């Protein structure tokens, strides 16, 4: 009771990254609150995925596994979610801000009259005093999200209603399994006691879904590696920093041509144009063919030991230093400060 | 035998967030709407087009816009009339103010119960909040099925509607029973332009409050008694009934605790060394501003 429930979304028979990111985040929140993390898993033939949810910290997996649930449909999924929330009374419920999460979560929150904050980029636990009544609340979920085209960051709270519900975009939080996995348990939900004929008012008559490809276009944070990284092996530094920050990896044409990374990551005139909120350019010289594809990023950080490198001209922050030292320091600094 | 459908389009007048200035938010953390140009929410335009196409295909069908906002939000209803709708309702009342998505959807669902359409079509989300919540919440309050992320309403008959949905990495075609609510994605067809004849006909359409506004004195030569189609209806809480506590600020479970303007100190390049202290302060600053989570 009063735990945190993460909706475990599946895609092509796998748990979505965003759900694992949410479980990782939920562990930190749960520790602050002294409660447990649980997952809600709905689908067909998905029981085998529970182990992965345990590995990311779910102590209980609420499982609704039935052939009629093979593909997401709002009404049956919402009915099951409502049943679980009404029984378990979680204090926090988190969903990915995907087409599924942004369809399901508002439907559920409306039925519970609980309130919902969309597309959060950060979640914290903190106290709150109501400005009008002076009433004090402890340990609320701060739901932090950009508003107004990203010019403003709003912190939303939900003082009186439970669960406190939020959706979170993929790739803004880090994903990290437990160091020592603990076997959780299944709470099997009998869907025949929940679903009624009218829950199947929407029928899917065709689905065409492409395989997931590397897609750096929609990334909020990109670590952008250049030829200066030096080798394919040394590109692991770039990937490590990206993994730590929940970022995607991009690269310059020179780095792609040298075979350091695959083509799909190429940014610039002959690659893709990106506009993330943060891009960290590692060993990128800053040729115009490259910067044309990323100079509209909101914040640009350049790491290059050559103070004359053109990338510093467009950077908001220029770190003049050896990337082999600076990147590990950034990883360590982030890990230290995010504790 | 073709059927006639009654369709309500949910539309919102929104501040144009592509042109946001420093005074966009009040110190209390609410939107300072007066400081921003107001536009017809873009995806609601896509929704309007889908509704008008059904009217084209099934003559006798009616399309109405339902909106909620201050008096000046009547503008979106006029925009609809200029493009071929049959009328609209403006929900306007101080008691609706301060509403989050839940309280907004309650007000809209109460109005829908009174309007009793066969279908609701709305934009997926509004550019001021980007929440995409009001559509599904209205559907839930009415107990109707919802179809989100629609790119095209492909077919409709007395019993069901067929919709092409645009998902993250593909498409889905679904059917839904009626009545239902559909939210339309930006990849749907753009809305048709204003029709010159309709602009002439409805140019002076107005709400009772617009008529009373001293700024409009002398503007309306033809009386609404003479041409009743010029009247745009306004509804208040009293018109839609329901539970008074579910409206506005009181009916909103979510509260804005804090609003921060994100202005980074270094707009011209800030040069750092690779020292531990510099790296720690940079990472700390990025975390404090929620640029990294």
Same topology, domains A4-200 and A221-337? Answer is yes
**Alpha carbon of A314: minimum distance to chain B alpha carbons (Å):** 7
Q: Kindly tell me if the per-residue pLDDT of B266 is higher than 50.
A: no
Contact B151, B165 (CB under 8 A): yes
Tokens found for residue A86? 């009404």
Tell which A residues from 180 to 209 touch B, by Cβ distance under 8 Å: 201-209
Q: Kindly tell me if the per-residue pLDDT of A283 is higher than 60.
A: yes
Q: What is the mean pLDDT of residues B142-154?
A: 98
Tell which B residues from 151 to 210 touch A, by Cβ distance under 8 Å: 162, 167-177, 180
Q: How confident is the model at residue B108, as a pLDDT?
A: 98
Which helix (H) or strand (E) element contains residue A303? strand A299-303
B61 compared with B288, residue with greater pLDDT: B61
Q: Kindly tell me if the per-residue pLDDT of A200 is higher than 60.
A: yes
Q: How confident is the model at residue A124, as a pLDDT?
A: 95
Q: A297 contacts in B (CB within 8 Å)? A: none
Q: A146 contacts in B (CB within 8 Å)? A: 262
Q: What is the mean pLDDT of residues A139-144?
A: 96
Strand runs labelled E in A9-132: 10-11, 14-15, 37-43, 60-65, 92-96, 116-120, 122-129
Range with the largest mean pLDDT of B3-12, B13-22, B125-134: B3-12
Q: B290 contacts in A (CB within 8 Å)? A: 121-122, 144, 153
Q: Distance between alpha carbon B195 and the CA centroid of its chain, in Å?
A: 22
Question: For all residues of chain A together, what is the average pLDDT?
Answer: 93
Of the pLDDT bands very low, low, confident and very high (cuts 50, 70, 90), residue B22 is low
Tell which B residues from 214 to 273 touch A, by Cβ distance under 8 Å: 252-262, 264, 266-267, 269-273
Contact A213, A262 (CB under 8 A): no
B181 compared with B129, residue with greater pLDDT: B181
Are B258 and A155 within 8 A, CB to CB? yes
Q: CA-to-CA distance for A41 and A69, rounded, in angstroms?
A: 11
Identify from A102, A146, A301, A332 which residue to disrupt to test chain B contact, counting B C-beta atoms within 10 A and taking the largest count. A102
Fold entry, domain A221-337: Rossmann fold (3.40.50)
Ramachandran region, residue B148 (left: φ > 0; alpha: ψ -120 to 50; beta: rest): beta
ipTM confidence: 0.88
A133 compared with A74, residue with greater pLDDT: A74
Among A195-199, A334-338, B264-268, where is mean pLDDT lowest?
Answer: B264-268
Tokens found for residue B192? 């048709």
B6-246 maps to CATH 3.40.50.620: yes
Of the pLDDT bands very low, low, confident and very high (cuts 50, 70, 90), residue B1 is very low
Q: How confident is the model at residue B18, as a pLDDT?
A: 64
Q: What CATH class does A4-200 carry?
A: alpha beta
Q: CA-to-CA distance for A170 and A24, rounded, in angstroms?
A: 13
A147 compared with A138, residue with greater pLDDT: A138
- pTM (2 decimals)? 0.82
Pairing status of strand B180-184 against strand B38-40: unpaired
Buried b (16+ CB within 10 A) or exposed e, B80-90: bbbbbbebbbb
Question: A80 by DSSP, 3-state: which?
Answer: helix
Are A149 and B287 within 8 A, CB to CB? no
Q: CA-to-CA distance for B193 and B196, rounded, in angstroms?
A: 9
Q: How confident is the model at residue B35, as a pLDDT?
A: 73
Contact B111, B65 (CB under 8 A): no
Ramachandran region, residue A57 (left: φ > 0; alpha: ψ -120 to 50; beta: rest): left
Of the pLDDT bands very low, low, confident and very high (cuts 50, 70, 90), residue A198 is very high
Q: Kindly tell me if the per-residue pLDDT of A105 is higher than 70.
A: yes
Tokens found for residue B87? 């009328």
Q: What is the mean pLDDT of residues B179-206?
A: 97
Q: Distance between alpha carbon B198 and the CA centroid of its chain, in Å?
A: 22
- Name the residue with tokens 């009063």: A2
Q: What is the mean pLDDT of residues A274-298?
A: 91
Are B256 and A152 within 8 A, CB to CB? no
User: DSSP H helical segments within A74-227, as ranges?
Assistant: 74-88, 101-112
Tokens found for residue B63? 């399309």
Are A204 and B174 within 8 A, CB to CB? yes
| Degrees, nearest 5: CA angle B213-B215-B219 | 90
Tokens found for residue A174? 């880090």
Q: What is the mean pLDDT of residues B248-259?
A: 92
* Cis status, amide bond into A163, omega within 30 of 0: yes
Q: What is the mean pLDDT of residues A207-232?
A: 88
What's the DSSP call for residue A174? -
For CA atoms B78, B83, B88, B94, the dihedral sign is negative
Of the pLDDT bands very low, low, confident and very high (cuts 50, 70, 90), residue B16 is confident
Q: CA-to-CA distance for B7 and B271, rounded, in angstroms?
A: 58
Q: How confident is the model at residue B245, as a pLDDT?
A: 95
Q: How many CB atoms lie within 10 A of CB A214?
A: 13
Q: How many CB atoms lie within 10 A of CB A293?
A: 23
Question: For all residues of chain B together, what is the average pLDDT?
Answer: 91
User: Could you report the per-residue pLDDT of B230-249, keeping only the tens digit for each?
Assistant: 999 999 999 999 999 999 99
User: Could you report the per-residue pLDDT of A88-104, keeping only the tens digit for each?
Assistant: 999 999 999 999 999 99
Among A113-117, A138-142, A293-297, where is mean pLDDT lowest?
Answer: A293-297
The half-sphere exposure of B14 on its side-chain side, counting CA atoms within 13 A, is 23
Are B257 and A156 within 8 A, CB to CB? yes
Task: List, as one string, the DSSP characters of A247-298.
Answer: -EEEE-HHHHHTTSS-GGGBBSTTSB----SEEEEES----HHHHTTTTT-S
Kindly state the percentage of chain A with pLDDT values over 70.
99
Q: CA-to-CA distance for B78 and B73, rounded, in angstroms?
A: 9
Q: How confident is the model at residue A289, as a pLDDT?
A: 84
Of the pLDDT bands very low, low, confident and very high (cuts 50, 70, 90), residue B264 is very low
Q: Distance between alpha carbon A107 and the CA centroid of its chain, in Å?
A: 21
Q: A200 contacts in B (CB within 8 Å)? A: none
Q: A25 contacts in B (CB within 8 Å)? A: 293
Q: Kindly tell me if the per-residue pLDDT of B227 is higher than 60.
A: yes
Identify from A77, A202, A222 which residue to disrupt to test chain B contact, counting B C-beta atoms within 10 A and taking the largest count. A202
Of the pLDDT bands very low, low, confident and very high (cuts 50, 70, 90), residue B33 is low
Q: How confident is the model at residue B267, as a pLDDT?
A: 45
Q: For chain B, which residues make up each domain, given as ranges? A: 6-246, 262-293
Kindly state the percentage of chain B with pLDDT values over 90.
78
Considering only the C-alpha atoms of chain A, give the largest distance between any 2 of them, rounded to a whole number of Å. Answer: 69
- Between the alpha carbon of residue A303 and those of residues A320, B53, B264, B274, B285, the distances in Å are 6, 54, 19, 9, 17
Pairing status of strand B170-177 against strand A202-209: antiparallel
Q: CA-to-CA distance for B194 and B174, rounded, in angstroms?
A: 31
């Amino acid at each position: 009771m009063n735990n945190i429930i993460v909706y475990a979304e599946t895609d092509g028979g796998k748990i979505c990254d965003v759900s694992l990111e949410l479980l990782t985040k939920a562990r930190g929140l749960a520790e602050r609150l002294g409660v447990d993390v649980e997952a809600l898993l709905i689908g067909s033939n998905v029981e085998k995925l529970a182990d992965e949810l345990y590995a990311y910290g779910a102590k209980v997996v609420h499982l609704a596994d039935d052939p009629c649930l093979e593909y997401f449909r709002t009404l049956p999924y919402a009915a099951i979610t409502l049943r679980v929330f009404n029984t378990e009374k979680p204090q926090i419920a988190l969903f990915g801000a995907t087409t599924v999460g942004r369809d399901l979560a508002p439907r559920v929150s409306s039925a519970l009259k609980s309130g919902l904050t969309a597309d959060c980029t950060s979640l914290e636990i903190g106290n709150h005093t109501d400005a009008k009544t002076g009433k004090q609340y402890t340990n609320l979920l701060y739901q932090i999200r950009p508003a107004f085209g990203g010019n403003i960051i709003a912190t939303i709270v939900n003082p009186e209603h439970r669960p406190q519900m939020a959706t979170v975009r993929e790739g803004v939080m880090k994903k990290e399994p437990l160091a020592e996995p603990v076997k959780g348990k299944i709470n099997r939900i009998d869907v025949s006691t929940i679903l009624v004929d009218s829950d199947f008012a929407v029928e899917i008559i065709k689905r065409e879904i492409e395989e997931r490809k590397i897609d750096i276009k929609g990334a909020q944070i990109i670590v952008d590696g250049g030829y200066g990284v030096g080798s394919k092996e040394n590109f692991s530094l770039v990937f490590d920093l990206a993994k730590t920050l929940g970022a995607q990896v991009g690269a310059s044409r020179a780095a792609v041509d040298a075979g350091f990374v695959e083509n799909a990551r190429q940014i610039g005139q002959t690659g893709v144009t990106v506009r993330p909120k943060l891009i960290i350019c590692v060993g990128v010289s800053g040729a115009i063919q490259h910067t044309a594809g990323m100079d509209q990023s909101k914040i640009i950080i350049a790491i290059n030991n050559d103070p004359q490198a053109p990338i510093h001209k467009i950077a908001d922050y220029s770190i003049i230093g050896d990337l082999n030292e600076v990147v590990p320091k950034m990883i360590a600094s982030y890990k230290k400060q995010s504790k | 035998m073709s059927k006639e459908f009654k369709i309500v389009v949910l539309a919102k007048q929104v501040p144009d967030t592509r042109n946001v200035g420093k005074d966009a938010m009040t110190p209390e953390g609410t939107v300072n709407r007066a400081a921003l140009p107001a536009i017809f929410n873009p995806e609601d335009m896509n929704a309007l087009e889908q509704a008008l196409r059904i009217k084209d295909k099934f003559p006798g069908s009616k399309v109405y816009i339902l909106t909620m906002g201050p008096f000046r939000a009547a503008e979106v209803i006029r925009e609809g009339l200029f493009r071929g709708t049959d009328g609209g309702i403006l929900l306007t009342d101080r008691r609706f103010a301060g509403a989050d998505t839940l309280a907004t959807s309650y007000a809209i669902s109460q109005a829908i119960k009174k309007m009793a359409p066969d279908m609701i079509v709305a934009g997926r989300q509004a550019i001021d909040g980007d929440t995409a919540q009001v559509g599904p919440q209205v559907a839930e309050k009415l107990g109707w099925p919802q179809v989100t992320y629609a790119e095209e309403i492909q077919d409709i008959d007395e019993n069901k509607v067929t919709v092409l949905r645009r998902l993250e990495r593909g498409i889905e075609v679904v059917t839904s029973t009626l009545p239902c609510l559909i939210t339309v994605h930006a990849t749907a067809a753009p809305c048709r332009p204003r029709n010159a004849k309709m602009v002439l006909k409805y140019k002076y359409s107005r709400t009772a409050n617009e008529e009373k506004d001293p700024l409009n004195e002398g503007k309306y030569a033809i009386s609404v008694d003479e041409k009743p189609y010029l009247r745009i209806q306004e509804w208040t809480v009293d018109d839609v009934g329901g539970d008074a506590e579910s409206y506005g600020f009181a009916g909103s479970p979510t509260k804005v605790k804090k609003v921060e303007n994100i202005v980074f100190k270094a707009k011209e390049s800030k040069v750092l060394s690779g020292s531990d202290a510099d790296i720690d302060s940079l990472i700390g600053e990025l975390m404090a501003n929620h640029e990294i989570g």
